Amino acid sequence: MARAANLPLVCIDPGKWRCGFAVFNAGVLVDVAELSSTTAIVGPALAVAMRAPWHARYLAEEPQTYEGHRDRDEDLETLRDMLREVERLSCARIRRIRPWGWKGNVPKAVHHARLIEALAASERALVEALPRNRDALDAVGLGLWHLGRTGRGARTTRR
């Protein structure tokens, strides 16, 4: 059986109608997409399960409730439902990371610009080929952070 570190890494930025999706193999971005559906929760979850490699590690942004934003709790629970559905359909356990842990409070435009800079030319071409890549970039960023290619907030790291 393959060691977990040698398995492809599937990263998910969950959404009710669409989700960001990125796959890294041997530390290199090999697939990226924004998966959408007209069926809430199950549609994006099924798209992830069908597109992901059979044996993989899964990592996703965990929707987080903030004080003063309780009206969004139902929306966030819908995103958690989507992740549970991915687990059910793919027979995999997803490691969840809260937004603050991997991207901090960096503005989205700054964060995405840093992510694009951190990508190799072949990886950048995959992202730039997408018609809409906001959610996909968050999935890519989560993977880059997990692999140690960027720090929190997509700051470049020195090895």
CB atoms within 10 A of CB 110: 11
Yes or no: say if 37 and 18 are a contact pair by the CB < 8 Å rule.
yes
Residue 157: what pLDDT? 65
**Residue 69, pLDDT score:** 60
Q: pLDDT, tens digit, for every residue of 68-98?
A: 665 566 677 888 888 888 888 888 899 999 9
* Predicted pLDDT of residue 126: 94
- pLDDT for 28: 96
Nearest of 129, 110, 116, 151 to residue 31 by alpha carbon? 129
What local confidence, expressed as pLDDT, does residue 82 receive? 85
Tens digit of pLDDT at every position of the chain (159 positions): 455 668 999 999 987 777 899 999 999 999 999 887 776 667 778 888 888 888 899 999 988 776 666 556 667 788 888 888 888 888 889 999 998 889 888 998 999 999 999 999 999 999 999 887 788 999 999 999 999 999 988 888 654
pTM of the model: 0.85
Other residues' Cβ atoms within 10 Å of the Cβ of residue 121: 6
Domains and CATH numbers, the chain: 4-154 (3.30.420)
